[in-house]
Amino acid sequence: MERQVVQRAKEAFLSGRARGLEFRLQQLHALQSMITEKETEICTALKQDINRSQYDTPLLELIGIENEIKLAIEKIAEWTAPRPVEKNLLTISDEVYVQPEPLGVVLIIGAWNYPWALTLLPLIGAIAAGNAAVVKPSELSECSSLLLRALLPRYLDKDLYPVVMGGAAETQELLRLRFDHVFYTGSSAVGKLVMEAAARHLTPVTLELGGKSPCYIDKDCDIRVACRRITWGKFVNCGQTCIAPDYILCEPCIQSRVIECIRRTLLEFYGADPKCSADYSRIINQRHFTRIMSLMEGYTPVVGGQSDPSQCYIAPTVLKDVPPHSRLMQEEIFGPVLPIVTVSDMDDAINFINEREKPLALYIFCSNKKEAKRMIEETTSGGVTVNDVMMHYSLSSLPFGGVGQSGMGSYHGKHTFERLSHHRACMLRSLNMESVNLARYPPQDRRRARRAKMALRSPLIDMSKRTLIWAVVATIIGMGLFVTLLVILLIAAGLNCTCWYWRGFYN
Ligand code: NAD
């Protein structure tokens, strides 16, 4: 079954229709219509999957998707155009450029926590770049995945962009087949399996993985505002966000104030009982519920801690003085549990972060910009936001992705287009001026070799249109100045002669 779907996608790609700019635009417009026309159904599906609020789905997923479609439609002509590059003396009369071209058939494997954004954002880039794409949504967000499978063929080319359903076994089956790129979002453990399977075909991969994203709060910042922002980022989608702050690092002297501010914000956001709040989501399934509950074993929560397995409900929970080497601090929490680890100062926080795997995101709350920049310089992460959480994700001009264990390759906006394109080096020469080439042909002698070396070592010259226009303008201005100067000199010389003549006349 999977084999046939992939084979059809390959054949459809080879037909060449995905390459046409008009076709790409038409598919992107159709995807845009799908999002606007089916917003209510999409929100309902997510309500069923994780009890996500109907207001959160547009804010967290749909607006981002619409923005990226709009951007791709607006910029596609610019993105796909040949990009002239610098030339040297040997190639000065040639046409030399980089041509972005489609890779072929891309496999997009999505995760369940944001099932629309994690499949459609890569798909937008795949369409814009002229590829075919097989979309494999997560089996865990069942309602959303079923809806995606029903909707996509109604709006897009069925053969070029099919949806394949299934879990681990079906995904493994798919990965046995040959693709031109695999774009995977999910856990680091499965990411390794995906990369291993892709390596068998030498297929390049993009891995959007997870990890523990630290959040440092400096004692001198506005703790009340910092905690509001952190509370939103940590507990939205019930903590099931790859770039949610995983844990807080702060000095012991502000820990109680941090806890108090988070407690007050939670009351404001979700009321006295978050279980009754329409804005508070649920854990995706029993397996993840048990996993998160087991991470909390042995701790006495200072905020929250209540749970209800029948609803996969875990209250927003805060744990204080969590030991750095506890299990809770070894694996990604991916749930509504926020541990606080105390550090002695910013340097201690930097060491703490650097001793661990490179995170997907880093958050720094600090009113001293110089210090915040120092922390950025002395650490690494996929992305970083100062004085807020998750907001770097919202800008499609910023590449989104991990580093090290948190992933490889980034996307969003033009970055997705670039990621899913091959950048082909193109050089168009003529068969004239053969004498210029003689120096590189045998039989070689010292003089020929010297000439060939000189030509090869010649500096790169920017021959872009703008540079040429500037060169012409500069030449015209230069010549104008030269002529003006010459005229002034001639007039001056003429005046001088006249003066001498009249002086001579009167004398
Ligand atoms: P998941 O269970 O939905 O798995 C992701 C995908 O991998 C699914 O399509 C699933 O069918 C497939 N899969 C699962 N097991 C497999 C196997 N053994 N072989 C082949 N395919 C398999 O999602 P998850 O992995 O639980 O997602 C949560 C993780 O994803 C977290 O670590 C989170 O941080 C990360 N994540 C990262 C991003 C990002 O953009 N970097 C976004 C969302 C989630």
3-state secondary structure string across 33-96 = HHHHHCHHHHHHHHHHHHCCCCCHHHHHHHHHHHHHHHHHHHHHHHHHCCEECCECHHHCCCEE
What confidence score (pLDDT) does residue 428 get? 97
Task: For tokens 């069923």, name the residue.
Answer: 48
The number of the ligand 1 atom at minimal distance from the alpha carbon of 400 is 40
Q: State which of 142, 145, 171 you would mutate to test the pocket of ligand 1, scoring each by most atoms of that ligand within 8 A of its C-beta.
A: 171
* Cα–ligand 1 centroid distance for 507 (angstroms): 104
Domain count, the chain: 2
- Domain membership of residue 56 (yes or no) is yes
The number of the ligand 1 atom at minimal distance from the alpha carbon of 175 is 20
- Domain membership of residue 433 (yes or no) is no
Q: Is 242 a catalytic residue?
A: yes
For all residues of the chain together, what is the average pLDDT?
A: 94
pTM over 0.85: yes
- Catalytically annotated residue among 242, 261, 312, 366: 242
pLDDT reading at 224 higher than 90: yes
What confidence score (pLDDT) does residue 499 get? 56
**Domain at 256, CATH number:** 3.40.309.10
**Domain at 83, CATH number:** 3.40.605.10
At 94, is the pLDDT very low, low, confident or very high (cuts 50, 70, 90)? very high
Residue with CA nearest ligand 1 atom 7 = 186
What confidence score (pLDDT) does residue 500 get? 57
Q: State which of 134, 143, 242, 243 you would mutate to test the pocket of ligand 1, scoring each by most atoms of that ligand within 8 A of its C-beta.
A: 242
User: Using a 6 Å CB cutoff, which residues line ligand 1?
Assistant: 109-113, 118, 136, 138-140, 167-168, 171-172, 185-187, 190, 193, 208-210, 242, 332, 334, 360, 402, 407
* Cα–ligand 1 centroid distance for 103 (angstroms): 24
- Domain membership of residue 126 (yes or no) is yes
At 506, is the pLDDT very low, low, confident or very high (cuts 50, 70, 90)? low
pLDDT reading at 201 higher than 80: yes
* Cα–ligand 1 centroid distance for 173 (angstroms): 16
378 with 352, same domain: the answer is: yes
* Cα–ligand 1 centroid distance for 112 (angstroms): 7
pLDDT reading at 502 higher than 70: no
Angle 21-37/63-80 helices, nearest 10 degrees? 170
262 with 249, same domain: the answer is: yes
What confidence score (pLDDT) does residue 497 get? 60
193 with 260, same domain: the answer is: no
Q: Is 143 a catalytic residue?
A: no
Residue with CA nearest ligand 1 atom 22 = 168
271 with 302, same domain: the answer is: yes
pLDDT reading at 462 higher than 80: no
Q: State which of 136, 185, 207 you would mutate to test the pocket of ligand 1, scoring each by most atoms of that ligand within 8 A of its C-beta.
A: 185
Name 133's Cβ contacts closer than 8 Å, sequence gap at least 6: 9, 105, 106, 107, 108, 122, 123, 126, 127, 160, 161
Which of 30 and 489 is assigned the larger pLDDT? 30
Q: How far is the C-alpha of 477 from the C-alpha of 471, rounded, in Å?
A: 10
At 233, is the pLDDT very low, low, confident or very high (cuts 50, 70, 90)? very high
Name 244's Cβ contacts closer than 8 Å, sequence gap at least 6: 213, 233, 234, 236, 237, 334, 389, 390
Residue with CA nearest ligand 1 atom 39 = 208
- Domain membership of residue 379 (yes or no) is yes
86 with 135, same domain: the answer is: yes
Which of 433 and 188 is assigned the larger pLDDT? 188
* Cα–ligand 1 centroid distance for 137 (angstroms): 10
- Domain membership of residue 150 (yes or no) is yes
What confidence score (pLDDT) does residue 466 get? 63
Token digits of residue 180? 């031109």
- Domain membership of residue 41 (yes or no) is yes
- Catalytically annotated residue among 61, 208, 251, 332: 208
Token digits of residue 377? 């310089």
71 with 101, same domain: the answer is: yes
Residue with CA nearest ligand 1 atom 6 = 111
Looking at residue 459, the DSSP 8-state letter turns out to be: P
100 with 235, same domain: the answer is: no
- Domain membership of residue 156 (yes or no) is yes
Residue with CA nearest ligand 1 atom 19 = 168
Range(s) of the domain holding residue 241: 214-401
355 with 246, same domain: the answer is: yes
Question: In the chain, what are the helix, strand and coil shares in percent, each to the nearest 5?
Answer: 55, 15, 35
138 with 274, same domain: the answer is: no
203 with 253, same domain: the answer is: no
Q: DSSP characters for 356-388? A: SPPPSEEEEE-S-HHHHHHHHHT---SEEEESS
53 with 148, same domain: the answer is: yes
Burial of 16 (0-12, 13-18, 19+ CB in 10 A): exposed
368 with 238, same domain: the answer is: yes
pLDDT reading at 41 higher than 90: yes
3-class DSSP state for residue 460? coil
- Domain membership of residue 435 (yes or no) is no
